[in-house]
Every structure is written in structure tokens, then in C-alpha cells.
Amino acid sequence: GIQVEQSPPDLILQEGANSTLRCNFSDSVNNLQWFHQNPWGQLINLFYIPSGTKQNGRLSATTVATERYSLLYISSSQTTDSGVYFCAPHSGGGADGLTFGKGTHLIIQP
């Protein structure tokens, strides 16, 4: 199956800082989602982005499907951004679920 690698595994930043999270995947995809898992365990949809660039407030994401990577940008970080960020591509061509990376654990300090 598809392999997913996220970097960095851990990131500690001060409030107001910007960050870039990276997701590399080993196969072509027809679906890719970014999620934020908050400290209470909820998985929150951030982006559905199989290709191209999208923006939502302080967050934006870019997927370059031909080069098999996706980036999540967080600007002007807030303490509520803390948690784990997961990239989850779906390779399509058959029936299966999303494949999750190990995530980036982000801590925003006040």
C-alpha cells in the first residue's frame, strides 16, 4: 500500500510564529486530506486537497501530486493550534480507506 512520511515529527513554536509541515507519499493519489487532532482526540478536517492550493484563514495547503508531496502552512500560530497534524492520502484504484502518516506533533507556547 501507499507509504506516508510526515516531517517534522515534533515542532515547538512560540505564539505568532509560522510553520510548514510536510507530507511525502509513495504513490499517485486521487484524494488527500489534512486533519488536526486536538488534545481531546477529535479529528478535525482541515483540507481536502488532492492537488493544487487552498487557503482557509491562517492555514493553507498545497499538494503537488506529480512530485508526491503536500505541504500545510500555519501562519501566526495560536495556542489553540496545538495538537497533532495528520496527512492522509488515498491512492484510489480500489476500495480502501485513508492511509495516515504518523503525524506532526505541534506545541504552541504562549
Partner 1 sequence: DSGVTQTPKHLITATGQRVTLRCSPRSGDLSVYWYQQSLDQGLQFLIQYYNGEERAKGNILERFSAQQFPDLHSELNLSSLELGDSALYFCASSVAPDTYEQYFGPGTRLTVT
Question: Which residue lies nearer to partner 1 by CB, 42 or 109?
Answer: 42
Query: Smallest Cα–Cα separation from 90: which of 79, 101, 82?
Result: 101
Residues in the site for partner 1, rule: CB under 8 A?
30-31, 33, 35, 41-45, 48, 50, 86, 88, 90, 92, 94-100, 102-103
Q: Three cell numbers at 69?
A: 508531496
CB of 48 to partner 1, least distance (A): 4
Question: Which residue lies nearer to partner 1 by CB, 25 or 86?
Answer: 86
Question: Which residue lies nearer to partner 1 by CB, 74 or 89?
Answer: 89
What is the strand order of the sheet 31-37 is part of? 10-14, 104-109, 83-90, 31-37, 43-48
CB of 25 to partner 1, least distance (A): 15
Burial 24-35 (b: 16+ CB within 10 A, else e): bbeeebeebbbb
